[in-house]
Copies of this chain bind each other. A is one copy, B any other.
């Protein structure tokens, strides 16, 4: 686990230290677009069987690194491991998305759930982190992650995915104390879960606030941001003699970026904002991660190359205090041609050098 890191571009960029070129990874880089992932997934039998098997989770985490010159690996897992460990009964019906057998409907339901102990109730995740670190052997850093309390709560209250968030919004407006009790338990759980991932070997962590953008500004502050900041305050700041950077990614959160940046080393951005505009607003006080439209990967390689160049130019020349990690603005879609991903990764490194003088 303490093998020297051969490529630390990603960690350096998150901490706004000089790098030779812009580092790159991709949300959901271990995923269905890769035939080798689909083969391992088939061997596991189900998505949850893959998540809960540390050896197979390690295998799929490493797969994209064999194909692409990526600057980071990300733990293969699902954001819903925490509510599953809380006893809500998670399943993934074929083509249906996640479903909970026992969703949260009232204060009594919230009172019944506990804060899972990561090293026992989520041991399979920590085992996967340890396996991946061994397997990586210092090649690139490993990212741990969790869903944000608000994002986890949407699934737990709705019982699965939702377009309208009708149940959780009714709870939020009519019974805010119930939702706050749930979010507080989730914030405690996420903090201990991420700290356990760091203890097991995660070298950076990302909070995925996938559904924060479904909220109004005051509701975002009260029900999402506040709990992410509670987590940020409770996270282990250093491990193996290095700072463990925190990336916070609220999809659709461009309008709140100054507030999201508080307590984060890096903010993730979706593709609907201009990187240069956001950099101007934040003034190199935090690193930025993003933000190519995942839909660009449907385009031909030369078009991907040109768009990568445009986004790097939008960020612009680096200074002594700037940091940029290239990424998509959301997870890669399952139908993408793996050859197009190669064009994306290579374009970032090729065009990135000129901005790091």
Give the interface of A toward B (CB within 8 A). 164-166, 169-170, 172-174, 213-220, 252, 254-255, 271-274, 277, 293-296, 298-300, 303, 307, 310, 333, 335
A347 to chain B minimum Cβ distance, whole angstroms, is 14
Contact A272 B213 (CB under 8 A): yes
Chain B residues, CB < 8 A from A174 = 298-300, 303
Chain B residues, CB < 8 A from A169 = 293, 295-296, 298-299
Report the bound CA distance from A215 to B274 in whole Å: 11
Contact A293 B216 (CB under 8 A): yes
Chain B residues, CB < 8 A from A254 = 255
The 9 closest A-B pairs by CB, nearest first: A169-B295, A173-B299, A170-B298, A216-B271, A217-B274, A216-B293, A164-B333, A173-B303, A169-B298
Contact A298 B166 (CB under 8 A): yes
User: Main SS of chain A's interface residues?
Assistant: helix
Report the bound CA distance from A217 to B307 in whole Å: 12
With A252-B252, A255-B272, A333-B164 as contacts: A170 and B299 at CB distance below 8 Å? yes
A98 to chain B minimum Cβ distance, whole angstroms, is 15
Contact A333 B272 (CB under 8 A): no
Chain B residues, CB < 8 A from A295 = 164-166, 169-170, 172-173
A252 to chain B minimum Cβ distance, whole angstroms, is 7
